Amino acid sequence: MKISKSLYSYYLIWPALIIYSAFFVLPAIVGLFYSFTDWRLDREVIQFIGWDNFNRIFTDKTLILAIKNTFIFAIITVIGKNVLGIALAVGLNMRLKTRNLLRVIFYSPSILSVLVISIVFTPMLRSEGTINKLFEAVGLGSLSQAWLTDPSIVIWTVAAVSIWQHTGFQMAIYLAGLQSISKEYYEAATIDGAGAWKSFLKITLPLLLPAININLMLTLIGGLKVFSEVFVLTGGGPGNASQVVGTIILRAFGEGSWGLGTAINTLLFVVVTIISIPLLIFMRRKEVTE
């Protein structure tokens, strides 16, 4: 039996498509169904309850706070990881004798387990911890904070730890993008009298758009799906001050409210899709126009 050349590529993707459908598409459809039910651990009969689970999400104060914290975390980490990532990449793309060593130093936190990071940072962030003592030692004791126990700043603290850990990964992607830019562009800009800042705006940023696009998508999706950092550093506390959507889903399933947990997870999937796809299309168009 001869296989048409035009259909050959489709035959190659069938195995991957079947696996993807079995482990992602089908569970997503089943999860969507259960999100409209009262599915619980202590109930043998599952009943369809319509939008009740979703109504509860937008009326429960803890759930609303978790959604708010998730967006705060995502915005802070997207800005922090990308701005610092570009800054580090530009700096370490210069002819520094120690640039390879510095690249390793800045990248290494991203390969560490979040559990290891929490073991390191938890004692440092206590009221009597290293960070506050350092502030006091340099005469900035007024900046000392209860980093993990003050409800007003705890989500910002967790976001800062995430930025510290993962910025090196974004830096590596930006470095790859920078090294693909021909030096002839900068030489021509120098001849035309352009300074470093103008060259960065007119040459580096436009040609770095593919890397920026990748990093924006990775940090945005990662920020909206945050779980590990909050779980290991604060457990959602103090009280519920640092709860995010990921920890609320875990708590809902832990309490046996499987229908509610599935509804929250479905809502998270929808939000991530609605935000990421238009952003991806917009960034792709910018790449073409630039």
Q: What angle do CA 59, 61, 64 make, to 5 degrees?
A: 80
pLDDT at 148 over 70: yes
- The pLDDT, as a whole number, for residue 279 is 86
pLDDT, mean over the chain: 90
Q: Say how far apart CA 141 and CA 81 lie, in whole Å.
A: 27
pLDDT at 288 over 60: no
- The pLDDT, as a whole number, for residue 36 is 94
pLDDT at 160 over 90: yes
Q: Say how far apart CA 286 and CA 280 lie, in whole Å.
A: 10
The pTM of this model reads: 0.90
Arithmetic mean of pLDDT, 113-118: 88
Q: Say how far apart CA 4 and CA 10 lie, in whole Å.
A: 10
Arithmetic mean of pLDDT, 238-259: 93
Quickly state the pLDDT bin for 201 (edges 50, 70, 90). Answer: confident
Q: Say how far apart CA 85 and CA 176 lie, in whole Å.
A: 12
Contacts with 107 (C-beta within 8 Å, 6 or more apart), sequence order = 168, 169, 171, 172
pLDDT at 153 over 70: yes
Instruction: Return the CATH architecture of domain 57-289.
Output: Orthogonal Bundle (1.10)
pLDDT at 286 over 90: no
Q: Say how far apart CA 109 and CA 132 lie, in whole Å.
A: 22
Neighbours of 115 (CB within 10 A): 11
pLDDT at 8 over 80: no
Contact 89, 175 (CB under 8 A): yes
What Cα–Cα distance (Å) separates residue 9 from each residue in 19, 20, 22? 17, 17, 21
